[in-house]
Chains A and B, each alone.
Chain A
Amino acid sequence: MSNCSLQIRNLKYEIGNYLILNDLNFEVRENSFVALIGPNGGGKTTLLKMILGLLKPSEGEIVLSSEEVKSITAELVGYVPQIKSMDRLFPAKVYELVATGIRNSWITNLSKSEKAMVLEALSKVGAEHLSNRQLSKLSGGELQRIYLARSFIRRPKILLLDEPATGIDIVGEKDIYHLIESYRKETDAIVMMVTHDWEAAYHHADYVLVLNHKQICYDEPKKAFREDILRKAFSHVGHKHEIIFKVDKNG
């Protein structure tokens, strides 16, 4: 797929009279890494869910513009949810979760080629040895790598990540970002990541979308992490200005 871009046009989402997101307009080109930051409840996950098709915009549209496809199908999107959304007590092996990326359902018997696909995806994230392990026995970092393998298996054009490094130690976190970067370079995919980790956003993202019910800024990290912008997004929820300033200065 060449010259692909994701366009968000006049996007609005409201529940009853409560406005969750309003007036979002930006474009993400292929091989771009976008970090979504903003206060809790500011609409970051809502935006991801709209791109996934889980929520329908009240107004506006989300368009995948490319020469080959015109609409966002499940196969084009790789999604790594917050790990808290899964049932940790569900009896399942690692390979079963990865295989859901192939057929969009829970698979009981894998063909030889599907098994090979699963093992290849697991080897990409360095988790081939975990293939037969129970999901309930994995650490948070291992589980995130498995979710990444699951999303890589269909070679998505858009990779959506919802706080992928939350609850993971610093080594595991670096590992996760390295895997995401490698995948993007290999496939020219669009990566969009919801995060509360400004440092990670600053270092890994090409663009930062600062959200608080509306688009406060969509720019390169150096321009997005400015005191006035962060104040606008966060100060009303009680964050101390010094904290914002400190991060801004140090990048």
Chain B
Amino acid sequence: MVEFLSYDFIQFSLIVVAIIGFVSSFFGVFVVQRQMSFLGSGLAHSAFGGVALGLLLGVEPLFVALAFTMIVGLLIPVIQERTKLASDTSIGIMFAFSMALGILFLSFKDDFTTDAFNYLFGSILAINKQDIYISVILLVITIYSFFSFWSRWAYATFDVELAESDKLNVRRDNYVLSILIALTIVISIKLVGIVLISAFLVIPAAAARLVSGTFYKMSVMSVIFGVVSALFGLVLSYYLDIPSGASIIIVQIGIFLVCYGLNKALSLDV
């Protein structure tokens, strides 16, 4: 274990992965409970368009991806409202459009393969000090959002109409939530990869739902599962020499199965 912790990139990765596990599973409860699991996947793939544009222009891909994903995150509810199409349809449209743009941008570049592969599947070797600072800022924003928005988001998740009747600005709150989810996804991409990031939003929260009788407890359990699976999965990936993103998700699935077993065996009142 001492040898494992002696590498800089491992130390950086442990900090970043714990924060990503915390933040993504915190927002994940809203994604799962609002039945927006496809949104995580859609936004992650939208980020691909931004990453590809960044690679093409020689600009830090994550900064371009951040702007790109936030715009897509805001456009999805706008398309839904204007066209009256279902939420998954507007996500599907933007998902495909962003991926198409990403492929188009990469086709203009000759030496894209390695970089693009890293962003698609994630790599702990790519993590540096700057990523730690960015992750800490995201963590602070998330903790702030817990105190200022959690109760409002929870209320609107339960019943939008009731929340609006109590004069909550649900539309504004939803935009804030979309932006923060987009931010979480983009910051997680380097470590986890575009292909697997949606699992971070969905699996810990889904597991927490199986053992929680209240939404607050679900939020707390989801964060615990998110952090534990991220740290344990990373350690496992080092010793078994397997990709970290995949390793973490396999641990998350393990936790999900244990929660499912507990739910059935104990007939939990949830």
Contact = CB atoms under 8 A, between A and B. Distances in A.
Interface range on chain A (Cβ under 8 Å from partner): 20 to 34
Contacts of B158: 86-87, 90, 92, 97, 106
A96 interface: yes
Nearest to A160: B165
B3 interface: no
Interface range on chain B (Cβ under 8 Å from partner): 20 to 34
Interface in B21-74: 33
Nearest to A55: B164
A54 interface: yes
A200 interface: no
B270 interface: yes
B232 interface: no
Contact of A92 (B150, B165, B168, B214): B214
A108 B154 CA distance: 10
Interface in B124-181: 150-152, 154-155, 157-162, 164-168
B214 A74 contact: no
A85 B162 contact: yes
Nearest to A79: B165
B165 A77 contact: yes
Given A74-B167, A87-B159, A93 B214 contact: yes
Contacts of B162: 79, 81, 85-86, 100
9 contacts: A87-B159, A92-B215, A93-B213, A100-B166, A103-B151, A105-B151, A106-B158, A108-B151, A108-B216
Given A89-B33, A90-B158, A92-B158, 17 more contacts: A53-B167, A77-B165, A81-B161, A81-B162, A81-B165, A85-B161, A86-B158, A87-B157, A87-B158, A91-B212, A91-B217, A91-B218, A100-B162, A100-B166, A103-B151, A106-B152, A107-B151
